[in-house]
Amino acid sequence: MTDRYQQFASSGLGRQIVRRLGLPNPTPLRRYKPGDPALNGPALVGAAEGGRLSETLHAVLKSAGIEALTEPLTAPEGERVTHAALVFDATGIDRPERLRELYDFFHPVIRTVGTCGRVVVLGTPPESADGRAAIAQRALEGFTRSVGKELKRGATIQLGYVAPGAEAASESTLRFLLSARSAYVDAQVIRIGTHATTTAEPDDWTMPLDGKVALVTGASRGIGASIADVLARDGAHVVALDVPAQGDELSAVANRVKGTSLQLDITAADAPARLVKHLTERHGGVDIVVHNAGITRDKTLGNMKDSAWDAVLAVNLASQLAINDALLEAGALRENGRIIGVSSIAGIAGNVGQTNYATSKAGVIGMVDTYAPLLAERGATINAVAPGFIETKMTAAVPLFIREAGRRMNSMSQGGLPVDVAETIAWYANPGSAAVNGNIVRVCGQSLLGA
Ligand code: NAD
């Protein structure tokens, strides 16, 4: 799907018209390409006094090849200074009066964030802090979400809540948030916890999934095909699953990623057992399960047939629970395993004509909440992405006016690409993300829908 408006707005004439009329001006986003540097410039790092993360931050930036500055760059009068990233350790803020330290750090430099730059605020999960400190840490969310709305030119901000004791487990998340892999993730709140029993940092951060087996459902096209591409690029053997009717497209994807294909309707009564058999007999188990297959059957509730309700709930939720249970019961999910759900902002905000879909996608969030402690006990994790408007066949079918609204009503003024969802899933899948459990991260460019 091409975004013709974005193409027009980045042309010479288009740029002038867009500026004169004050129209949305979507910046082409920088996306990860193997071999690219993590950031295309230095990161300015600051901290509130008493913060816990300075040492970790500097070590991670060094290992990711990012130059860390502790003083802002300066330039001769009239020249513009840019920082590729601003990172602020706010864990030291122990009472609301000290929130002023956010202002003091960011106010002089916020306008120096470069095109597709990154801003990361790090805090302590309010539930792990006491009294006034918890209030101050909770306040970081409002700051982050507002800065997200003010940043221009494809820049993003995120808030990472790092639990005390989880400092060393934050590398995979910091690398993701600072890189072009998180291009369409904006104003999200991510929790890094201490439940991880295994920390397995990859030997090679460019091939973090080397030796892993990843099952991707609905892999024959759209977002699923992109997930297969990205997980394979990162080193995984991908088992690409889709319904038999998608057989040809499925084989093409499996061949492209040098993986294998499995034709299966995940709603079939024997699907969980067949899947467990396939994964254990052919691969000795599975490391990463991505529940991407999903359908829509849109109608307002009064016009909706019960078959449309049942089909959506079966594919988008019930089959996933049955598969999880069968994999866990058989012990087929290996040590440091990952289950990753695909929710939707419709599951957070609700949507007209999508009572069935939004119910199923909110159910995916419930699945993450419920399974997270069970998986933590087994040294595994479960998380989900909640995509916003992503350019796929699904969204190409949306009527033009609604499609345009969906594309522009976010801080990036554009739709995301399947690869943006796939990169976020690859971050969850990374063996170094063992401390990331129970999260729902929206891949929506800070859509106005879903807060
Ligand atoms: P898509 O329709 O292009 O792909 C979905 C795939 O799932 C298809 O290949 C389909 O054959 C497969 N599938 C459906 N039922 C199945 C079953 N019973 N067994 C096995 N496979 C089955 O959709 P997409 O846009 O790529 O969406 C992928 C996921 O992302 C879905 O879960 C969707 O709800 C979610 N999502 C998409 C968007 C978006 O903007 N496109 C937004 C939010 C969430």
Residue 311: predicted pLDDT: 98
With beta carbons less than 8 A apart as the criterion, state whether 355 and 301 touch: yes
Contacts with 92 (C-beta within 8 Å, 6 or more apart), sequence order: 47, 48, 49, 50, 51, 52, 98
Q: How far apart are the first and last CA of the chain?
A: 26
With beta carbons less than 8 A apart as the criterion, state whether 224 and 292 touch: yes
Among 113, 86, 115, 117, smallest CA distance to 102 is for 86
Residue 15: predicted pLDDT: 66
Q: How far is the CA of 264 from the centre of ligand 1 (A)?
A: 14
392 lines ligand 1 (CB under 6 A): yes
Q: Which residue is listed with tokens 């700051």? A: 143
Among 185, 195, 191, smallest CA distance to 425 is for 185
Choose which residue among 184, 223, 323 to substitute to test ligand 1 binding: the one with the highest number of ligand atoms within 8 A of its C-beta.
Answer: 223
Q: How far is the CA of 214 from the centre of ligand 1 (A)?
A: 17
342 lines ligand 1 (CB under 6 A): yes
The CATH architecture that domain 213-443 belongs to is: 3-Layer(aba) Sandwich (3.40)
Q: How does pLDDT run across 322-363, given as a tens digit for each residue?
A: 999 999 999 999 999 999 999 999 999 999 999 999 999 999
Q: How does pLDDT run across 130-152, given as a tens digit for each residue?
A: 999 999 999 999 999 999 999 99
Residue 398: predicted pLDDT: 82
The CATH number, out of the four listed (3.30.465.10, 3.40.50.300, 3.90.79.10, 3.40.50.720), of the domain defined by the range 31-192: 3.40.50.720
Opening angle at CA 406, ends 418 and 290, nearest 5: 30
Measured CA to CA in angstroms, residue 255 lies from 198, 222, 223, 225, 419 at distances of: 33, 16, 17, 11, 19
Q: How far is the CA of 19 from the centre of ligand 1 (A)?
A: 37
- DSSP letters spanning 220-231: TSHHHHHHHHHH
214 lines ligand 1 (CB under 6 A): no
Q: How many CA atoms lie within 13 A of 399 on its CB side?
A: 3
Classified as helix, coil or strand, 334 is strand
Q: Which residues of the chain have pLDDT under 70?
A: 1-2, 8, 13-23, 197-199, 450-451
292 lines ligand 1 (CB under 6 A): yes
Alpha carbon distance 293, 263 (integer Å)? 13
Alpha carbon distance 307, 229 (integer Å)? 33
Opening angle at CA 188, ends 183 and 190, nearest 5: 110
Alpha carbon distance 32, 10 (integer Å)? 20
Outline which parts of the chain fall under CATH 3.40.50.720: 31-192, 213-443
Positive or negative torsion for Cα 128, 131, 135, 136: negative
Residue 1: predicted pLDDT: 55
